[in-house]
Amino acid sequence: MKRAWLTPTSIVGLLVLYAALYVWQPGGSRLLEIISNTLYMLFAVLATIFAWRASQMFEPGVVQRRVWLLCSISMAMWVIAETLWAYYRLFTREGSPYPSPADILWAIGYIPIIVSMVMQYRALGTGTSIRLKLIALALYLGLLVAAFVTVLWPILSSPGEDSVIETFLNLYYPIGDLCLAFIATLSLLVLWSGLVGQPWRYIVISMLLVALADLTFSYTMWNDTYIIGGNLLSGVADMAYLSAHILATVGAYRQATLSLPSWSVE
């Protein structure tokens, strides 16, 4: 039986409710920040649990077991990062430093999930045509150029204002997000029409939303305009982050509950 809270209607309803709270802020910006960070951590925890459960569907030595195990490791690191971010934002007067230990965990967390996506594609990508690969590559190169022109170049063209590690992270996040989404999309092209491809539809959209959120967040932080509930761009970043967390949870849950006990990829 499907979990009611993971149906499309309930997901849309939750996002609409969050958007309403974001706009009207009945308890003020402090309550909005508490609700936001609680939701981020909740869905990050759920995504970690479901990704680990998905890995247990497969026998030891099967590629998919390692793929989902690495995903769960990344998500677990992001849970800790979300917790640290919430602590800095809610319980310290200075707010979250940049970079912080949370940023280090977020940055390291990209590595296992990108490795898992590469493994996924190597196991499944032999059926992808050159034409589809070129289309996907052209799309993401276009997104990368757009991101560089609109966000990254203004940041990089202001020498002396940021440290080396800040500049590195400002580049690392969006490029890492786009690379991850690109690899996931190539895998999805192989699985789109089949039952086993259903979870990856959510994962791909989740990665795209993370890229959008990171780009917007980097831009607003650079301009000192990120204020939760304070302006449109901050709202875009926060809504995209929450949506990404929810969709990652749904994708991992769908994989963990697929009725394919004997399916594997050698």
Phi and psi of 230, rounded to 5°? -100, -25
Going from the C-alpha of 77 to that of each of 14, 40, 45, the distances in angstroms are 25, 13, 10
**DSSP state letter for 92:** -
Instruction: Among 18-22, 27-31, 179-183, 226-230, name the one with the lowest average pLDDT.
Output: 179-183
The domains of the chain are located at 27-256
The separation between the first and the last C-alpha atoms of the chain, rounded to the nearest angstrom, is 30
Distance from the Cα of residue 133 to its chain's centroid: 22
Question: Considering the entire predicted model, what is its pTM?
Answer: 0.82
Top pLDDT among 7 and 107 is at 107
pLDDT band at 264 (very low <50, low <70, confident <90, very high): very low
Going from the C-alpha of 134 to that of each of 56, 138, 189, 205, the distances in angstroms are 34, 6, 12, 20
pLDDT per position as a tens digit, 50-91:
999 999 988 888 888 898 899 999 999 989 998 998 888 778
Largest Cα–Cα distance of the chain, in whole Å? 57
